[in-house]
Amino acid sequence: MIRKLIFSSILFFSVLEYILILLMIDKYGDIMWIGKISYCLIYIIIFNIILFIRSKQRIENLTETISCVILLIIPISIFIFKPDFTVEKALSSLEDRQQESLVYTHFQKYNDEKVYVFYSERTEERYFFNPYNGEYGDFKND
């Protein structure tokens, strides 16, 4: 009975965190390595299902402990390292400053920091926006 409860709670929280991560990917443009974490959660779910079916006490206790630690670390690290600006907030801020319509394209590493990259169709320039400190600029001048 306890084994089923532990299995169910690990499965429930894994799925819940996976949904949270999928929602945050759109909001933050996968700048916080969130997409890679989602694979870790899928492996936890699959691994626990396999171990639930083929139960061995020592291995089961170890995997439950590891799974619980990972399930605690993931949301804590996400909220600690979360950027101050979402893609939408950065886009509206940059459009107000540049006075033109921009489109979010991707994120990339620039000056040893991950930044959002926006593109202006009118002037065909690319702009960067650092979501952690609000710095912005264009790639042509730097």
Q: What is the DSSP string of 94-109?
A: HHHHHTS--EEEEEEE
Side-chain-side CA neighbours of 34 within 13 Å: the count stands at 25
Q: What is the pLDDT of residue 138?
A: 83
pLDDT (mean) for 105-133:
84
- Do 70 and 96 have their domain in common? no
Q: What is the pLDDT of residue 31?
A: 66
pLDDT (mean) for 31-54:
69
pTM (two decimals)? 0.65
Residue type, 135: E
- Do 72 and 94 have their domain in common? no
Q: What is the pLDDT of residue 9?
A: 80
- Do 67 and 93 have their domain in common? no
Which residues span the domain enclosing 55? Answer: 2-80
- Do 37 and 57 have their domain in common? yes
- Do 21 and 67 have their domain in common? yes
- Do 103 and 43 have their domain in common? no
Q: What is the pLDDT of residue 60?
A: 64
- Do 11 and 53 have their domain in common? yes
- Do 72 and 128 have their domain in common? no
Query: Looking at the DSSP assignment, which residues form a beta bridge with residue 107?
Result: 116
Q: What is the pLDDT of residue 70?
A: 78
Q: What is the pLDDT of residue 81?
A: 80
pLDDT (mean) for 95-104:
85
